[in-house]
Amino acid sequence: MRIKPKSPREALQPEVAPGPPPRSRHVRNPVVILINMLITLTVFALVAVGAGLYLGKQKFEQAGPLKQDATVIVSSGAGLSGITDRLTDKGVIADDWADDLIFNLGVRFYKNEKKLKAGEYAFAPGVSMRQVMTDLVEGNAVNHAVTIPEGWTTAQIVERVRAHPVLVGEVEEVPGEGELLPETYSFTRGTTRQQIIDQMKAAQAKALKEIWERRVADLPIKTPEELVTLASVVEKETAKADERSRVAGVFVNRLNKSMRLQSDPTILYGLFGGEAWTTDRSAITQSQLKAENKYNTYQIDGLPPGPIGNPGRAAMEAVANPSRTKDLFFVADGTGGHVFAETYEQHQANVRKWRQIERERREAEKNGTSDQKANN
């Protein structure tokens, strides 16, 4: 290879740098360009989704807009969108499409859209969307209650259930006397009246079964139904918890001796049925005592033909395990309780004391009325 000689001036001049290599045909390929664009868009989308999820999660868990306590009623079959609307109307969720979307997506993200329960819910100020979802899923609804006093008749119980403003529907089937257990029953909005009655009936059946299995062996009572009947009499004879077993013992002793029970409440129930305790009927007249009455234990032997009310658990337990005494009589002592006796002579003395107390009370009431008239 011949070398071309250069002059001193040419030798001092820098050589021209070579040009860039020719562009690859693959880089100019439209498919490659499309793939690069898709990768770029995917990266941007993933970043945007990640940021959205992060911000949405924060919004879902942060304090909400509610300023004061609010109650929201979620009806059965409302669906997620309907529930969201109710929450928005009450201010639990902000009235904004973004917040509605976040709540809906949050519920769906946790796979709870089909787990939201109907009911009445109370929300505190600032409750978060997540807590709202948790309450709806767990059914943390507002509880209401209906209280049934011991000894009430079935007619009284049904009337109270019918009058409750939160319960819905009608009482379709009225149970028999003694088939309901008096207690306090909690329920949520939307519960029907028949459901409460059925719950009382089931509770009574369960309690009676347990108590009957624990009864003492030598009772003059042959069936669980007879236990309920005697317990209903005990329930109406005393309101003092510490007397139930002793009153039950008196009646058990009398049954063992084939003595009539001679219980005043049985007279009233035989005459007035389920309305016997709706008014003050404490004073029994001679005509009522002598009137034909299949429940009147002054006239009939043994137990009345059925319960005279719905006894509570304690009264049934008292009959199943009565006090071991020789008492055959009891009478009021003037303090809300009773005084007990083993013999008729002791009982008569106690009756005289009680009548003296009654006379003194009538005199005191009479004198009080006279003094009031004089002052007027």
pLDDT, averaged in runs of 10, over the chain (376 residues): 63 66 62 72 65 73 91 89 93 90 92 92 93 93 95 97 96 97 94 97 98 96 97 94 95 97 95 88 83 94 97 97 95 88 94 88 74 52
Which element (helix H / strand E) includes 71? Answer: strand 70-74
The predicted pLDDT at position 5 comes to 64
Q: Where in the chain is the domain with CATH 3.30.1490.480?
A: 70-138
d(CA 179, CA 186): 19
Is the separation of the CB atoms in 250 and 262 below 8 Å? no
Q: 338-341 and 119-123: which strand pairing?
A: unpaired
Is the separation of the CB atoms in 102 and 59 below 8 Å? yes
* pTM score: 0.76
Q: Tell me which CATH code domain 70-138 carries.
A: 3.30.1490.480
The predicted pLDDT at position 51 comes to 59
Helices (H), 257-329: 264-272, 286-290, 313-320
Collapsing DSSP to helix, strand or coil, 123 comes out as strand
> With helix as H, strand as E and coil as C, how does 192-254 read?
EHHHHHHHHHHHHHHHHHHHHHCCCCCCCCCCHHHHHHHHHHHHHHCCCHHHHHHHHHHHHHH
The predicted pLDDT at position 278 comes to 84
